[in-house]
A and B are shown apart, each in its own frame.
Chain A
Amino acid sequence: AQTVTQSQPEMSVQEAETVTLSCTYDTSESDYYLFWYKQPPSRQMILVIRQEAYKQQNATENRFSVNFQKAAKSFSLKISDSQLGDAAMYFCAYRLGVSGGGADGLTFGKGTHLIIQP
């Protein structure tokens, strides 16, 4: 079974600074997808960024980028120029690719609570 581990229960960063959230995963598959979701106090899950395992290039979405290290099974999220609105729980998630057949439920980590200091 696949597992996702987020080893940082809580992180704090000054506004406008850069912060990196860690995520490691365990899988024997080669075809999979990785995601970062944000959950603000409203508790809605919002997609931040997605990475296909077959792509070597790291995904980027504006101030959000990932460092995907497939051999190390590591998928960290970097937030540049942190803003107060970035304060939230951040969840790393994994799902199988096409080769997994119908199995495409997301497996989530326990989350990292990101605090932005003004």
Chain B
Amino acid sequence: EPEVTQTPSHQVTQMGQEVILRCVPISNHLYFYWYRQILGQKVEFLVSFYNNEISEKSEIFDDQFSVERPDGSNFTLKIRSTKLEDSAMYFCASKLLALGTQYFGPGTRLTVL
């Protein structure tokens, strides 16, 4: 069964550094998402992406964040200058149809020191 994959599974970085989290959505899916979950808290929506542009973003998704689909398979989340409070689990999700269900990847745990 096809699934969303994410790399790396765990990323440790120093405050102020740039990080790129990578996702490979399910191959024929058209809608892509990033969510984050700070430890012990609920999952929060960051951004959705369709047709090579952002379709929706939350208040969390400020100028420090960007997303890109550099080729036909990858979907990336970049954090330009990481802060301690960016430490969280980051989930990628994708879906095929506008009314379809979002399928989540296993997550990347980001630790900012």
Number of interface residues of B (CB under 8 A): 29
Chain B residues closer than 8 Å to A42, beta-carbon distance: 106
Number of interface residues of A (CB under 8 A): 24
A106 to chain B, nearest CB (A): 6
| Cβ–Cβ contact A103 & B56, under 8 A | yes
B103 to chain A, nearest CB (A): 7
Q: What is the total of A-B residue contacts with beta carbons within 8 Å?
A: 61
Chain A residues closer than 8 Å to B44, beta-carbon distance: 108
**A106: contacting residue among B45, B55, B106, CB under 8 A:** B45
B interface, over-half SS: strand
User: Is A105 an interface residue when CB atoms closer than 8 A count as contact?
Assistant: yes
Interface string of A95-113 (1 = CB under 8 A from B): 0011000111111111100
Interface residues of A (CB under 8 A from B): 33, 35, 37, 42-47, 50, 91, 93, 97-98, 102-111
Question: Which 4 residue pairs are nearest across A and B when measured between Cβ atoms?
Answer: A105-B45, A45-B104, A102-B55, A108-B43
Interface residues of B (CB under 8 A from A): 31, 33, 35, 37, 41-48, 50, 55-56, 58, 89, 91, 93, 98-99, 101-107, 109
